[in-house]
Amino acid sequence: MRRVVCPGSFDPVTNGHLDIIGRASRQYDEVVVAVLINIEKKSLFTVEERIQTLQTVTKEYGNVRVDKFHGLLVDYCKQQEIPAIVKGLRAVSDFDYELQMAQLNYRMSGVETLFMATGPEVSFLSSSRIKEIVKYGGSVAGLVPDLVQELLVERLRG
């Protein structure tokens, strides 16, 4: 079984995340989407809400499983017998941070990190910018799944 993890906060999931998850699902037998439980970071959606949303929007892929983790990602990988992490790189600005993390993760555990270039049509997306746009009345249609847009409008403008 060739398994890989796509980790993140997913607060909320965007079409950029789905681009990477969907493409990873065509390369691997199973993709585990792992939501970080981070009590230090204020989030808009609870971990359970994010998991539920991810399950709905990744249903079509068939081989994607959604889970949560806390602590070090490499400990989760070891525990779940996942040998590699898949990360999307949007631009050069992502690279320094991601390289450092990939090297540290490999050094700590031997878990590999594989980088995938995000599709240019979604390379400018981030969950923070998406929340900001909705908060101030803009439309994020086509940038996030319809369900996520509805949830954002309800949470931020409701």
Residue 137 CB, shortest distance to ligand PNS, in Å, is 25
70 annotated to a ligand binding site = no
SS3 content of the chain, % helix, strand, coil (to 5): 45, 20, 30
- Please tell me which residue in 25, 50, 127, 131 is annotated as part of the active site: 127
**Residue choice 7, 16, 88, 145 for contact with ligand PNS (CB under 6 A):** 7
**Known catalytic residue at 139:** no
**Residue choice 4, 9, 140, 144 for contact with ligand PNS (CB under 6 A):** 9
How far from the centroid of its chain's Cα atoms is residue 139's Cα?
Answer: 21
**Known catalytic residue at 131:** no
Based on the shown chain and the rule CB under 6 A, indicate whether residue 101 belongs to the binding site for ligand PNS. yes
**Known catalytic residue at 127:** yes
Q: List own/partner pairs for 125-128 with CB under 8 A and 24 or more apart.
A: 125/14, 125/15, 125/16, 125/90, 126/14, 126/16, 126/90, 127/9, 127/10, 127/11, 127/12, 127/13, 127/14
For ligand PNS, the binding residues in 114-153 under the rule CB under 6 A are none
Amino acid identity of residue 147, one-letter, is: L
72 annotated to a ligand binding site = no
**Known catalytic residue at 43:** no
Q: Are 125 and 114 in contact (CB under 8 A)?
A: no
Which residues line the annotated binding site?
Answer: 9-10, 17, 41, 73, 87-90, 98, 122-128
Looking at the annotation, which residues are catalytic?
A: 17, 41, 90, 127
Q: Under the rule (CB under 6 A), what is the footprint of ligand PNS?
A: 7-9, 36, 72-73, 101, 104-105
